[in-house]
Structure 1
């Protein structure tokens, strides 16, 4: 009995020690040796350091092409697009090197090197052995490196990254005609993970609030060798124990089990469901998170452990609206074009600075009542989605597919990996496959396949609508650039507006080209509008120089341009939000390249995230419930004038995104150019849940000619906040009228 007890104890110690190494992860983020070469051969020596994650512009000393990549223009030049093939620098291979000690006790485990995101064309060597190559730029690269490792010794990891011009045509996406430079690099986390002969390579925890359950999908990598001799095993038993806990408290909530068989030296998908009662639903207003710990057993032997966060939330469309956890939910927010920001001279390492990203992505948007973002023309590092999960923000997550898409099978591979890698984030509610384009394979073959993998989200197929899709069209993405592209292309935009009037600020003034969105049966998410971009120093962007020069004059000051921009954006936001069939309103854009074709609404150096006046006025235009003025602008746009003493009749429009009625008092003021109040009147306003209320109003205009401001101030019951809407009008036909500029 004594010998048996000793044997059991020895076995327990051995298994425990072995189990401690299974599931171990070594983080490889940090400073790597770095160098560039003209040819695809390793450098003779490494003279630089570069952070991982990051891009190659962060290397120190700077790379030779740095100044050509980040030129700051002395003046704005009007342009429409950029061709990535027209390089001003010599493309080079970028080499990363890291030496890491692998403890001797790790011997006997299987090792996977994971690079979450790297671009463009990534080649990996470990201790001089070729571990493989990948053209994926936005999804994880997982390479088995067991055979190359030396245990109890130092190991050299060498990674070569190519340039965008060398990306092969079958790769999925990566062209954006408003990008000038495609800066390569390892731009997300890198780690080395260890397991037994079976590993949780990928996992999806898919919630259902309605059915009170979670569906667990595992992609298990079996490392046993394939059948070689007749009679050798082809399959192995596997089982998993899944424990669901509250993330913050650690309280165990539910448990489930999974059994199955996996194919040797292959990846096998396994699925199970766990009933889940008495949970907290996830929403931007209450971002409650859970954690699923998955313990994997190879037969009866512990082989791997993997943990992932998730939230209990349902997101669906019913008719023309989105529903979050069974309740109608309007999206309000903006866009982030991170891959354009990468080429901003002031970008530096900010996209990997957690505190900076949190302020830009979460704090600033929430302060102006945004609850949604479109991650546009290219996805983000994984921790961005973690922040949105933790602090509450929903995303339309868009692949970098605008001008080209690659070859079908590679698209299937990369899009499938995309769903597996990002699909546990409750913040992601829409997969956006295409921007402003059409593709029959993606829309009618691939998306239906991927809906089987992840049925918990909505897919957007770009400009494909009911007539383009074989199945149901769940949503469309109107880009409502009123007076936009045609205006920008004119040599004299102001004369064009006289012949083609744009009634800025008029609520129900929908031009024929946009009526199709009002008549469509699909949900409408306006995820782009506001074609009046400025750079952060107040200069027009490349696409808007002619427009600003025409409307304000070439000698206009930055402040004058910012005033026009803020007013225009507020009026357009009110116009779209007043159309209650629009399920979401996302202005373009919250972050981009400062010296590019468009612009964002921060001013001065982006590291300080100093809001411009447009962001301040957005607070009033985006608040869930407010009262807007339904009247066309006459200050900037040629929309006529009023006669002195005329009786002006118009509507006030109460709008409400909330499930409770909105009640309060609206005060309407008429102010002259000096800020004197000419008339003032107040009345009670009540707007039904999710509704719109038209409130007739009239003003007797003064006899004195000049520029005037109509201002509404709405104060909700039991609130001290004053919410504003404004319209400029002309009384008389004088030229060069002065107008009151109001601070938000």
Structure 2
């Protein structure tokens, strides 16, 4: 009998132990003073607006089951159009009894772009802005047991929210990670530490830590904050401690400074040493919160005459602009995908990224820190060439700043809020060397430019207040007389040659802009960037790192690396130049015999959507040599968990949106269930190949039982008729980059398309050839050209257009004397796709050629 009793007791203990284990795995029971729990898995989703969907009793059984990160438009493959409107998300989560005395927060790292957050039917917050995270205290609305988190989200255009325009896609969704954060009543606030290293030298350094601590309890208490500084080897090298009384329902800011730390390891791209500040809140001897802040020791200096200095040494950086957009998944990129992007920039020998043109994921800054990349972090106040008016949608190109006075205060507060959040979230990263206020805000209606200039000054002042340790930049400042407003000027395109020794710290923030399909030319694509190394210039960034989706169609194919994350030849050129690694031999035509399927790694480390693998399929001949032949290839999940953005399989077709080119194709594969996945690459008549991907973690996948995410089949999205681009008369040449055969002082090429008839472009009189050219920065069909020449000037000229700046087509000629200052109208009956337009003057021998103003009208080619 005693044996039976002991056996029953043992079984009971095993059952209890198993139950606790399962509960902690599935429901994340609280065991630490602070817990941050990823809740990316198993959301319900449906496009459209659904009244009452916030209620706990709402029936969502017919909704799709999806996982985060997610995007309204998955699968997305660079379509110039995308879904605009509402989408609803619902997530069920359990609150264990142990959390009853805790504070519970939900943290979103990004949701584009107006999010209404409900818990158990109660509206707990609204966040406006698609590129910065936010945290909401949901303690008062949760209950022990089952809870419902609902998100009503839209990506509608609004005149009152930044950004109003841009060369990018604005697909909606909860496209970054979401977490539940559980703390005690007294805790460090959301991104509540600010770590700096004042008076730093190679011999010694001190650390200043400003820490916000919130007391949400109903009692005043005496608390101690102890901060340990931990070096890259894990050793505590300094400790500082402070005690203070914190009243209930209040936030106190601690200001601590350590003693001197001898010979700290300095952070740099070559040696990205990272330290940690470990903040511990004590109530008596009890630890009630623990918060870790990675940081680095480094100091920077920007100068107008000698460029940029890092840790006291002159440093010229080279890099690329980077968007957050991946094939199939759009903006819904995993942390692993972000890491691959940063590593690819690093791997070609570059050491700088401009985060164009918005705050990127916290993981992006983390990766720049750990891999050693200098980061230009940019706010989302931008414009791009468009109608400069209030358009009501993403597709007609509204100006950067609102025209209507009633919208302006709301818009300005939106930009300032995004700047505040961007700096708060990213301020502890040593990789970040500047905060940029904007990109090309001069693309706005002329009537708003005086206010734009004043507003930029206010943003610079706000940036200095929020972070006195970093300069404030004006990004894309080559027009509009705005380049001297900030501490650093970022010149795009022809700004590289227009602003020579401008008298302010400066960077070429965009050069190149070469449209190319992989493999492309083996050339650097310098564009307007001079090859002379000026002592006053701090660095340069190519436009751009990766292809991306945009309403401008093929204009998004300017990357060194294509949309599927396969390098073009330009990337190999830079790798050879900067790292002396020869390019691979070019693929050649041959007789395809087999496929080769490879993965960047064979293990996905978790099931929460932060990790994935990149799969690459290659076409080979019978001897295993890479071919350029590009037959249709299908990747199929034969067994096990996992998904492509198109579901259980994906087919690549040459010259399609889901492309195979030069004998290669690639896609990112992710899994939300543990288990082994077998993926096979197949093509008719070719030997297939397979890889096995192991996904760690739980829940485990059960073949034939577990239901995978069901994605809609890929269909290129088209706009409804009423919201398509309007046939408006828009000057598409206004303030676009220009080039000329020669220029007279004060009469520059950029003055011919500035909508100011008091300025003029004028060539040198004795130049053997006289021409003026504009880059329209998009692909258009042109309907009309208006040209204003000075009185008495000859109108003998030819107008040519080109898509690639190499092959030109003549579309108009003129040979009439202009007796009065008037516009010459040229109606163009042409279906030629145009990016560049050139005017060559044919009879201005021994006298200058001039243009007072030119206007070009046309329609974007999608």
TM-score (norm 1): 0.62
Aligned partner (choices 203, 214, 219) of residue 212 of structure 2: 219
Provide Cα deviations, 1:231-274, integer angstroms capped at 9, x if missing partner.
xx8x7654311111124x32111111234455653544332222
Q: How many Å separate the matches in 2 of 1:533 and 1:465? A: 22
2:180 matched residue in structure 1 = 192
Name the CA shift for 1:260/1:599 in 2 (closer, same or farther; >3 Å): farther
Name the CA shift for 1:350/1:71 in 2 (closer, same or farther; >3 Å): closer
Q: How many Å separate the matches in 1 of 2:740 and 2:476? A: 32
2:371 matched residue in structure 1 = 391
Output aligned runs, 1:111-260, within 5 Å.
111-151=104-144, 153-165=145-157, 167=158, 169=160, 171=161, 173-179=162-168, 181-201=169-189, 202-208=192-198, 209-210=200-201, 212-224=205-217, 237-247=222-232, 249-260=233-244
Give 1:442 deviation, angstroms. 4.7
Name the CA shift for 1:19/1:337 in 2 (closer, same or farther; >3 Å): closer
Matched, 1:598 2:556: yes
Name the CA shift for 1:143/1:443 in 2 (closer, same or farther; >3 Å): same
Give 1:138 deviation, angstroms. 2.1
Aligned partner (choices 536, 542, 548) of residue 581 of structure 1: 536
Provide Cα deviations, 1:98-127, integer angstroms capped at 9, x if missing partner.
222222112111111111211211111122
Q: How many Å separate the matches in 2 of 1:265 and 1:469? A: 44
Aligned partner (choices 505, 516, 519) of residue 501 of structure 2: 519
Name the CA shift for 1:163/1:365 in 2 (closer, same or farther; >3 Å): closer
Q: How many Å separate the matches in 2 of 1:162 and 1:270? A: 38
1:317 matched residue in structure 2 = 302
Name the CA shift for 1:346/1:143 in 2 (closer, same or farther; >3 Å): closer
2:352 matched residue in structure 1 = 372
2:293 matched residue in structure 1 = 308
Name the CA shift for 1:134/1:396 in 2 (closer, same or farther; >3 Å): same
Flag structure 1 segments of 5+ consecutive residues without an equivalent: 1-17, 59-65, 74-86, 226-232, 483-509, 538-558, 625-636, 640-744
Give 1:52 deviation, angstroms. 1.6
Provide Cα deviations, 1:667-687, integer angstroms capped at 9, x if missing partner.
xxxxxxxxxxxxxxxxxxxxx
Output aligned runs, 1:38-49, within 5 Å.
38-42=49-53, 44-46=59-61, 47-49=63-65
Name the CA shift for 1:325/1:107 in 2 (closer, same or farther; >3 Å): same
Matched, 1:612 2:568: yes
Q: How many Å separate the matches in 1 of 2:82 and 2:175? A: 23
Q: How many Å separate the matches in 1 of 2:561 and 2:303? A: 40
Output aligned runs, 1:173-572, within 5 Å.
173-179=162-168, 181-201=169-189, 202-208=192-198, 209-210=200-201, 212-224=205-217, 237-247=222-232, 249-260=233-244, 262=246, 264-275=248-259, 276-297=261-282, 302-320=287-305, 321-338=307-324, 341=325, 346-348=328-330, 351-352=333-334, 354=336, 356-362=337-343, 364-403=344-383, 404=400, 407-437=411-441, 439-440=452-453, 442-462=455-475, 473-481=486-494, 514=498, 517-534=499-516, 536=517, 562-563=520-521, 566-567=522-523, 569-570=525-526
Name the CA shift for 1:524/1:361 in 2 (closer, same or farther; >3 Å): same
Q: How many Å separate the matches in 1 of 2:454 and 2:282? A: 39
By percentage of residues, which structure has more helix?
Answer: 1
Provide Cα deviations, 1:666-724, integer angstroms capped at 9, x if missing partner.
xxxxxxxxxxxxxxxxxxxxxxxxxxxxxxxxxxxxxxxxxxxxxxxxxxxxxxxxxxx
Q: How many Å separate the matches in 2 of 1:419 and 1:638? A: 41
Checking the alignment, whether the CA contact within 8 Å between 1:30 and 1:53 is kept in structure 2 is: no
Flag structure 2 segments of 5+ consecutive residues without an equivalent: 1-28, 384-399, 402-409, 443-451, 581-738, 742-862
TM-score (norm 2): 0.54
Checking the alignment, whether the CA contact within 8 Å between 1:178 and 1:596 is kept in structure 2 is: no
Give 1:289 deviation, angstroms. 0.8
Provide Cα deviations, 1:24-72, integer angstroms capped at 9, x if missing partner.
22221223121223344416424212222232334xxxxxxx6xx7575
Q: How many Å separate the matches in 1 of 2:310 and 2:459? A: 25
Provide Cα deviations, 1:164-191, integer angstroms capped at 9, x if missing partner.
33x571x4x2233323x42111122211
Checking the alignment, whether the CA contact within 8 Å between 1:100 and 1:155 is kept in structure 2 is: yes
Give 1:481 deviation, angstroms. 3.1
**Considering only aligned residues, what root-mean-square deviation do their CA atoms show, in Å?**
3.4
How many equivalent residue pairs? 508
2:406 matched residue in structure 1 = none
Checking the alignment, whether the CA contact within 8 Å between 2:377 and 2:436 is kept in structure 1 is: yes
1:104 matched residue in structure 2 = 97
Q: How many Å separate the matches in 1 of 2:372 and 2:36? A: 28
Provide Cα deviations, 1:395-448, integer angstroms capped at 9, x if missing partner.
111122113365334433332221111111111111111111263455333333
Provide Cα deviations, 1:580-611, integer angstroms capped at 9, x if missing partner.
3321011100113254423234566x43x332
Task: Tell me which moved more, 416-425 or 203-212.
Answer: 203-212
Name the CA shift for 1:44/1:19 in 2 (closer, same or farther; >3 Å): closer
Q: How many Å separate the matches in 2 of 1:335 and 1:567? A: 18
3-state SS of 2:422 partner: helix
Give 1:306 deviation, angstroms. 0.9
Name the CA shift for 1:199/1:397 in 2 (closer, same or farther; >3 Å): same
Give 1:322 deviation, angstroms. 1.0
3-state SS of 1:125 partner: strand
3-state SS of 2:558 partner: coil
Give 1:135 deviation, angstroms. 0.8
